[in-house]
């Protein structure tokens, strides 16, 4: 633990990049150990992600949640957009098996609801800080200036604005919605000169999408 914290403290790049890629690697692995194991693996991944956030917090000054009307509006709008355009564009791959604990562990069983709760909490409180620190704090600025901390969060750079959003979009199965989402979140960073509002907006969007998934039994978004 201590060597990792020392690396976090020593390198502004390491502390913003490595936690994201650890979490991404775990995400890519979670479907390779059997159908039931992927749910337990998600619990493990979420715990690791939360631990990484705790370890990196002292060394990423901008990783502070912020609440504003713009953040709320962006979060709600992104969720509505994500659902609304889903049938309007082709996906680049076939969808995998839907992430639906009810279908595997029994409808309304305690264990199924446990996995749903972990997924909802993970997507709301763990995913947004890790992704926003990597994409909006690091990548957007690093594509413009290797000494990225010297590049203000509020400065607009057209090419990086588009490229970062495209990369963010193609991290998701719903790639077009992801690109639009990336553009909206990057605009919010530039407008507010901080990433805290985008962390909040991202959390709101993911939370509302999770409520939609569970309430409408529309598991394709998970």
Q: Does some domain include residue 38?
A: no
Tens-digit pLDDT profile for residues 98-108: 889 999 999 99
Q: Does some domain include residue 125?
A: yes
Its pTM stands at 0.95
* CA atoms lying within 13 Å on the CB side of residue 123: 16
**pLDDT-derived band at 30, boundaries 50, 70, 90:** confident
Q: Which domain holds residue 131?
A: 63-221
Q: Does some domain include residue 141?
A: yes
Rounded to the nearest integer, the mean pLDDT of the chain is 95
In angstroms, the Cα distances linking 152 to 23, 136, 144, 197 are 27, 11, 11, 16
Q: Does some domain include residue 12?
A: no
Which token pair is 103? Answer: 């279908």
Q: Does some domain include residue 103?
A: yes
Report whether pLDDT(1) > 70: no
Q: Does some domain include residue 206?
A: yes
Number of structural domains the chain divides into: 1
């Amino acid at each position: 633990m201590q060597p990792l914290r020392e690396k976090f403290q020593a390198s502004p790049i390491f502390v913003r990049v490595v936690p994201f890629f650890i979490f991404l690697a775990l995400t890519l692995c979670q479907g390779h150990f059997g159908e039931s194991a992927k749910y337990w693996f998600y619990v493990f991944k979420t715990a690791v992600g939360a631990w990484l956030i705790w370890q990196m917090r002292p060394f990423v000054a901008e990783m502070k949640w912020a609440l504003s009307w713009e953040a709320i509006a962006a979060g709600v709008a992104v969720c509505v957009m994500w659902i609304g355009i889903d049938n309007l564009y082709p996906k680049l791959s076939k969808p995998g098996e839907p992430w639906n604990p009810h279908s595997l562990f029994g409808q309304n069983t305690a264990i199924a609801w446990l996995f749903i709760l972990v997924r909802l909490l993970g997507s709301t409180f763990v995913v947004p800080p890790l992704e926003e620190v990597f994409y909006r704090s690091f990548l957007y600025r690093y594509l413009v200036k290797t000494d990225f901390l010297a590049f203000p969060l509020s400065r607009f750079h057209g090419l990086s604005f588009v490229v970062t959003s495209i990369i963010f979009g193609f991290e998701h199965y719903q790639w077009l919605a992801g690109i639009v989402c990336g553009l909206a979140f990057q605009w919010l960073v530039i407008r507010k000169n901080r990433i805290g509002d985008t962390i909040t907006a991202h959390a709101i969007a993911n939370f509302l999408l999770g409520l939609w998934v569970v309430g409408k039994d529309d598991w394709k978004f998970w």
